[in-house]
Structure 1
């Protein structure tokens, strides 16, 4: 008879060990199942199969430990059980209604047919709502910690309860309650690899979701394609400022900038470090490395958050590159987190090093009131406020709106959850209708109006919180010297392809309306550590 023990297994407990020990050395027919019915099993347990779920996830609040560390702890944990223990990783596949069936198939596949687990030869040990999936397949359930299924009350702390306790206790290794409940195999591993510190950082992070993403509404297929399409532009704009040595790309997405830098002969002796917090993108980086897409073999990727702490050793980096990242910290995090991010980069640079920050930027006179004339004939002007829950349906709907209709939708959606309110009014001058608003809000709309693939995600993001002068001031306060080559500029591709024929800006003067040039859209900001 086999025991299947599915779970994320971030921590193993003394209760689990004692429960398994008593089953293995006792008699199964003395135990009751989930419904308090005797198991009526006479066979002995011949093997325990640990199915480690979310095995492809790590460095997130939900799954802080990588699979290999969890497997090490399980191996040590099972050593004294005196029955063979087998450990198989089961990848996360999202919310799958038949995840139990998937797990069983993964075990059979990973074991090369050694374990074909069925209700006739296997008992399942599970105390969480996942047990219902196995029960539906006919398996008998050993409830372990579970005391009452109707209330989901437990006899003792669950493993995840202990992870959360560790996350909130700087002296967790001396906490009597944690020591009493965590099995030595896990406790020693957590102490050896300083996993408590990692978990504290992950739980402290307000920007990143439990599964390691900044936003849950982004279409990553579209996002990855866009990153690759503009990679050459990003590299061309920044390449002349890169200094050889240790080169880091924070928010490296799918590694496109590093891929191009690796081809640059100036950096053939350099080491490259890509930092990406979003799990989907980090996985692609590793896949690209396995595919041999990087000309320089000294390319290393890490899944870390550069806001909560340093991602490189202090005083170690010759170049740090970021692109289209800092506005996301302001958008999804807070101003204090953005300021901390800036300070972290200064600490990481070696003397003479440079931080190259390419991002969006506000115009210098962003609070000025302007008039915006919008195209009303390039689509539908009515029905702009229809609710949608599906991204593809929303995309099709937005595509058919005119520029004017899309602005009305933008004004309704833009940073609504953050409590922001786009203040505007329609004014008529010489039989022409204009939108009167701040230049800042006009720029937010112009920069965002065509991102219909990821509209829900983009509506959380702000581009125009600081102008170039404010950026320089905040870098200097962190210790940087801002290089004279730093500049704000207008992306002419955006002007030609997205603004002309769609949006015109005016300023009202004493002599009438004055047509304005399109404002700056982007910046190259060079912070040097002297």
Structure 2
């Protein structure tokens, strides 16, 4: 096409272009250029650009690689791309229907047609039929993952060279086999990241003060670093001036914030590096390379969004990465030791402003939740909690001296009280399990892999939560006999532990 002209080429409608003039340049618009390490876009921009430039050497005309960042589903995507190309080339290239032919096989072609551009269909057969000469790029990618014998034969030599040199076939296999991460590389699609980022910054000082006495200088990793707030605080401590910091974050939105903060100069130590990697599927650091690894509020997410085997693999990977004498500092929620014990729960019901209205009668689900009393919100929780995972929260009610109590397992009421006030991220929180292991069960699992648990490790109760979220809303009781009647005594039961600081040494 490049060497022979375009006069006989058929456009997307099956009509000859009738353009005898040969192309003077080719522009490769690399869409979703700000995405990488996802199933849709496994390669970063620089590797895609390397392949294109390698491939373009055979074309004998100038070629330009232009990054187009993702703007989501937009009817203005075509016009945005044209403007982005103009800006990225410092106004050197201005594309118009008079000087440009667009190559596209997807429905995005319609957006360019609306702007007056002529479109060549590439893989698509010209005309109205929905048929194709060859696989679309995403189908080729899936074929590679499925290891079809002939899949690599369809790839250009420039593609094969780069994929082999950088071990990308193995990387893509890993991305597609990982059930924990979605197509866009996030744990959950229902999280409000604006709220989440604010919460992470607000508790960063607490995490720092709690963990800094046990942190060892050297190569320090922070897995699930969110927006880098913990690393930022540690960098301010003179003891760690000579240390190197490696933050790992899989969520694309948070990773970009980390990179922006680094560019803004927010980290006092210049040796701060961020990686967008999945710490569940394999090692994120070389074996025997890290003096300290920090995780906070992460391990429960692996259990919640993945499964037990993935959590155990995560623990083993951290053991492999640490040097002998290194420490994994894991700060997270934890279940009570007697979590299977049945308790009787009183819940307040006078704060309700709901007049029997369902969620659809409110501006937002958050507003609906906040109209409910503690007891009413519990019933919504019972309906929603890990519903997609098949969990059933069983309760029964009983009257004692005319007061209603609800009987359930201690772990179930602990799950509720730990989440009842997360009205901003309710749908996301409903997937998360906090009480799957007690502190002693955590110790057993870590010791079975080879860790030694520091005596400074401990489970504790967040007293701020007790004072501000639990008291006056919930009361816990044990029965004086196994199956109390109306006249039976109920013995007050204190709120159990909520969090742990686990110091696992190698």
TM-score, length-normalised on structure 1?
0.92
Rounded Cα–Cα distance in structure 1 between residues aligned with 2:357 and 2:459: 33
Residue 461 of structure 1: aligned partner: 432
Aligned to 2:348: 375
In the alignment, what sits opposite 1:7? none
Q: Which moved more, 1:449-458 or 1:159-168?
A: 159-168
Cα-to-partner distance string for 1:92-125 (whole Å, 9 max, x where unaligned):
1111122111111101111122222122221110
Equivalent-residue separation in structure 1 for 2:166 and 2:356 (angstroms): 56
Cα distance between partner residues in 1 of 2:10 and 2:231: 58
Q: Tell me the CA shift for residue 131 of structure 1.
A: 1.2
Provide the secondary structure at the position in 1 that maps to 2:160: helix
Q: How does 1:480-499 map to 2 (within 5 A)?
A: 480-499=451-470
CA drift of 1:384 comes to 7.3
1:522 aligns to 2:499 (yes or no):
yes
The answer on whether the counterparts of 2:14 and 2:126 sit within 8 Å (CA) in structure 1 is no
Gaps of 5+ in 1: 1-22
Q: 1:428: Cα distance to partner?
A: 1.2
Name the residue aligned to 2:31.
53
Asked whether 1:87 is paired with 2:60, we answer no
Cα distance between partner residues in 2 of 1:487 and 1:303: 31
Structure 1 segment 234-383 matched on structure 2, within 5 A = 234-380=207-353, 383=356
- Aligned counterpart, 2:117: 139
SS at match of 2:359: coil
Q: Are positions 1:39 and 2:14 aligned together?
A: no
Match of 1:8 in 2: none
Confirm or deny: 8 A CA contact 2:144 2:152 kept in the other structure: no
Provide the residue aligned with 2:82 in structure 1: 104
User: In 1, Cα distance between the equivalents of 2:391 and 2:358?
Assistant: 17
Partners of 2:244 and 2:408 lie apart in 1 by: 48
Instruction: Report the Cα distance in structure 2 between the residues aligned to 1:482 and 1:157, rounded to whole angstroms.
Output: 53
Contact 1:88 1:110 in 2 (8 A): yes
Any conservation in 2 of the 1:380–1:405 contact (CA below 8 Å)?
no
SS of 1:356's partner is strand
Cα distance, 1:387 vs. partner?
5.8
Secondary structure of 2:15's counterpart equals coil
2-structure distance, mates of 1:276, 1:525: 21
Distance 1:328 1:341 in 2: 12
Distance 1:445 1:381 in 2: 20
- Partner of residue 485, structure 2: none
Helix, strand or coil at the partner of 1:284? helix
- Pick aligned residue for 1:167 from 121, 145, 150: 145
- CA-atom RMSD in angstroms: 1.6
Q: How many aligned positions are there?
A: 500
What do the CA deviations read for 1:403-446 (whole angstroms, capped 9, x no partner)? 11111110011000110111112221111111211100000000
For residues 449-472 of structure 1, the C-alpha deviation after alignment (integer angstroms, 9 at most, x for no partner) is 000000010001010100011111
CA contact (8 A) 1:30 1:38 kept: yes
Select which of 395, 400, 411 maps to 2:366.
Answer: 395
8 A contact 2:223–2:247 mirrored in 1: yes
Distance in 2 (alpha carbons) for counterparts of 1:231 and 1:418: 31
User: Could you say if the C-alpha distance between residues 440 and 382 of structure 1 is closer, same or farther in structure 2, counting changes exceeding 3 Å?
Assistant: farther
Alpha carbons of 1:155 and 1:92: their partners in 2 closer, same or farther (altered >3 Å)?
Answer: same
Residue aligning to 1:17: none
The secondary structure found in structure 1 opposite 2:64 is strand
1:6 matched to which residue of 2? none
Residue 72 of structure 1: SS of its match in structure 2?
A: helix
| 1:320–1:354 contact (8 Å) kept in structure 2 | yes
Which of the residues 417, 422, 429 maps onto 2:393?
A: 422
Is 2:181 aligned against 1:208? yes
What secondary structure is seen at the aligned counterpart in 1 of 2:364?
A: helix
Which of 436, 444, 462 in structure 1 is aligned with 2:407?
436
| Counterpart among 58, 75, 78 of residue 53 in structure 2 | 75
1:25 aligned counterpart, secondary structure = coil
Q: Distance in 2 between matches of 1:423 and 1:441?
A: 9
